[in-house]
Structure 1
Amino acid sequence: MSPYTHARAAVIGGSIGGLTTALLLRDLGFEVDVFERTPTPLDGRGGGIVLQPDTVRWFAERSDQNPATLSTSTEYVQYLGPGDEIVHRDRRRWTYTSWGTFYRALLADFGTDHYHLGEFACGVSQDADCATVRFVSGRQAQAELVVFADGITSIGRRLLDPSSEMEYSGYVGWRGTVPEYQLPAEVRSLLGNAISYSVVPHSHITLYPIPGETGTGPRDRLMNYVWYRNVPAGCELDEMLIDKRGFTGTVSLHPGQVQDRYVDEMRATAAQLLAPAAAEVVTATEQPYIQVVSDIRSAKMTDGRIALLGDAASAARPHAAAGTAKAAADAWALADALTDSDGDIAAALRKWEPAQLELGSRLLERVKEMGERSQFHNTWTPGDPSLRFGLYGPGR
């Protein structure tokens, strides 16, 4: 019998990192409940995910679902010139999914009986035997292990490391998707089998195909992109982050909520600056949205029976396409530490913490340098191997 049989675990945050953690803890014998702050199932706004090995490991090793049915793939990484000429191309296979597709697959494996929507954690305390999480609703949850996987605005991080502060990078990511079949044939041909970059002064865009809501067929796939654009901190950024309802966003503005004048300017600039194929995708996007690119890192990931995981512990810029991979890597390493601890949860967390802190620190340092090269120093050069995706290093 597992030493964790009948032990309880509470996972705060029901996104990809939280669900991966919950599934692994349940396999160890824990009785697991997941608490998600949003009142409705998550949708991910159609954004894309690069499937690195850690990200997809649950489906490769434990799930009955075939990861191939959740993903698209490409054979090349290419850079486009101002006339859509290919200025550099490497043969390098990557696979992708959409955030919503991957989330729904994980939730299908976990089930909804112990997945609780609309529960916003606001506090936690612990003693020698268990931790108690308090929710805005008045609910309380007691568990032998509490894992905060509640993202870049984590309440858990604020509780464990109140001194940690979000640092704005100096730029935002414009994101969006377009049904691939709606693009001109020449654009589909150029972009459909590659990660494509268009690099311009103080900016770059990355594009790749992902599954749509209904599958991976030719009329299902979406062309997904992130376009990084500098916006000074202060009044200019503050004004941009006021949505159409008059509310101010902190980490993003949802599709359909970005003020029209900013969308109009973004489309006009895309047509002027980007490679024509990239501009075609951007200008065809019906509801682009904004992600504020920021960095944050907690100095600690554990306290007694409480752990921080994924973006809750450290959030890195997207340039290495490693955010979901890091969350999954944290979860698998936590499961390994618990397996080796003979039921001593606090000891397992102490064992787990140093390597994961180091992993987050290395990733954060690398993507900061990548962002500086692109947005401020103009040294993001086509084909440079140090700019490749990867959690553990370029291309790894």
Structure 2
Amino acid sequence: MSDYSHASAIVVGGSIGGLTAALLLRELGFTVDVYERTPNALDGRGSGIVLQPDTVRWFSERSTQDLADLSTSTKYVQYLDRSGDLVYREECTWTYTSWGTFYRALLADFGTEHYHYGEYACGFSQDADRATVRFVSGRTESADLVVFADGVTSVVRERFDADAGLRYAGYIGWRGTFPLRDLDPATQDILHDAITYDVIPNSHITMYPIPGETGLELQDRLMNYVWYRNVPAGPELTEMLIDKRGFPGAVSVHPGQVQDRYVAEMKAAAAELLAPAVAEVVTATEKPYLQVLADVRSSKMAVGRVALIGDAACAARPHAAAGTAKAAADGWALAAALQEAGGDIAAALTKWEPAQLQLSDSLLRRVVAMGERSQFTNTWTPGDPDLRFGLYGPGH
């Protein structure tokens, strides 16, 4: 056991992975400050999260908040065809939350006294004893440990691995939510208790119910979906990612900012290609948005007393529903290594790094293979156990 009661830590990035790490470091005794680049509370744009053991472990083991107050669940996994017929169904319970619900719960446990908005970290330096973070505002802050959890567009990733750049997957994800209560009753009946897939040539969509802003009850829930559609790299993609203000998007185009012609084409295609219940959700969405599917993996996650975790270290396509679980797992493993390290932070990071690199490598290989099957080789078959969610493997 190590005593870190006189040690300090900086976490860059105040999202789910960063907050989980910050909470665990504080439990070890660190004085922890979180620096978030956005000027206001994060909202996650209404996205859903499939909850996995590492993601919810803080609430299962440490928090006074009840996970049941933050999540919804479904009993089945099902596949529908174009006519709306059920082509596969199995009993398989999964739980979900909305990104905003989960973020707010973690922030409530961490508090806002040491949570700093509007600070964009742009670099760091270190010596044998301390690491110093530089911010675009001109601010600098030093600590015994620095954890970068600054997401898929991490500005420091190249300091760990100069060759770790985003690689476009060849397809995008159309995302959105729509109130379950506002759907046709027959559609509600089909969708409310399942993860629903609809697989069509070179594409697939998945949807499931998540908590709404007003609560967890059935009438409060939102149907959340991701529809994966191929868009070739080059001018077509570049044009699609220019938002209504004329700004190019690198990894997403936000709700309300996708050019109307692309939204109209997407909804027309949904009506033509997807099962009626699935298409109803998609076509009814007022402000769908775009996510660029890309992969990146740094070959290093530790440099001295500075760590790289979550999407900053490895961003993988969401087919395994494991992104937030991976970020949380990085944090839990880091806390365990620090606890065993006798106070030697750099040694703890050196010990922590190999297993997390291996985990990110195996996850990335798996989701790339899943994406190839659905988008390019048309070998995504309903009910295949290799296609199940899981951080450590299908269903795990």
CA contact (8 A) 2:2 2:341 kept: no
Deviation of 1:219 (Å): 2.4
Aligned partners of 1:95, 1:219: CA distance in 2, in Å? 17
List gaps (5 residues or longer) in structure 1. none
1:207 matched residue in structure 2: 207
Deviations 1:254-288 (A, max 9, x none): 00000000000000000000111110000000000
- The residue identity in structure 2 corresponding to 1:51 is L
Aligned partners of 2:125, 2:3: CA distance in 1, in Å? 23
2:313 matched residue in structure 1: 313
2:191 matched residue in structure 1: 191
Deviation of 1:317 (Å): 0.3
Aligned partners of 1:265, 1:336: CA distance in 2, in Å? 49
Deviation of 1:218 (Å): 2.3
Deviation of 1:90 (Å): 1.0
Aligned partners of 1:241, 1:6: CA distance in 2, in Å? 47
- The residue identity in structure 1 corresponding to 2:42 is L
Deviations 1:275-302 (A, max 9, x none): 1111000000000000000000001000
Deviation of 1:84 (Å): 1.2
**Quick check: 235-244 or 214-223, which moved more?**
214-223
Q: CA RMSD in A?
A: 0.8
2:178 matched residue in structure 1: 178
1:15 matched residue in structure 2: 15
Tell whether 2:220 aligns with 1:220. yes
2:295 matched residue in structure 1: 295
1:98 matched residue in structure 2: 98
Aligned partners of 2:363, 2:5: CA distance in 1, in Å? 35
Deviation of 1:158 (Å): 2.0
CA contact (8 A) 1:172 1:293 kept: yes
CA contact (8 A) 1:2 1:29 kept: no
1:274 matched residue in structure 2: 274
1:377 matched residue in structure 2: 377
1:393 matched residue in structure 2: 393
Aligned partners of 2:221, 2:191: CA distance in 1, in Å? 12
1:327-338 alignment runs, 5 A limit: 327-338=327-338
2:79 matched residue in structure 1: 79
Structure 2-normalised TM-score?
0.99
1:340 matched residue in structure 2: 340
- The residue identity in structure 2 corresponding to 1:131 is A
- The residue identity in structure 2 corresponding to 1:96 is Y
Deviation of 1:348 (Å): 0.3
CA contact (8 A) 2:17 2:310 kept: yes
2:97 partner SS: strand
1:77 partner SS: strand
1:152 matched residue in structure 2: 152
CA contact (8 A) 2:33 2:116 kept: yes
- The residue identity in structure 2 corresponding to 1:160 is F
Deviation of 1:2 (Å): 4.8
- The residue identity in structure 1 corresponding to 2:335 is A
2:4 matched residue in structure 1: 4
2:251 matched residue in structure 1: 251
1:155 partner SS: coil
Aligned partners of 1:23, 1:151: CA distance in 2, in Å? 18
CA contact (8 A) 2:2 2:338 kept: no
Tell whether 2:173 aligns with 1:165. no
Structure 1-normalised TM-score?
0.99
2:159 partner SS: helix
1:123 matched residue in structure 2: 123
1:377 partner SS: coil
Aligned partners of 1:269, 1:2: CA distance in 2, in Å? 58
Deviations 1:102-158 (A, max 9, x none): 000000000001000110011100001000000001111100000000001111212
CA contact (8 A) 2:210 2:223 kept: yes
2:232 matched residue in structure 1: 232
Query: Matched residue pairs, number?
Result: 396
Aligned partners of 1:183, 1:80: CA distance in 2, in Å? 17
List gaps (5 residues or longer) in structure 2. none
Aligned partners of 1:395, 1:75: CA distance in 2, in Å? 15
Structure 1 runs of 4+ with >2 Å offset: none
2:88 matched residue in structure 1: 88
Q: Give the % identical residues.
A: 72
1:50 matched residue in structure 2: 50
- The residue identity in structure 2 corresponding to 1:79 is Y
1:6 partner SS: coil
- The residue identity in structure 1 corresponding to 2:198 is S
2:358 matched residue in structure 1: 358
Deviation of 1:215 (Å): 1.1
Aligned partners of 2:218, 2:191: CA distance in 1, in Å? 13
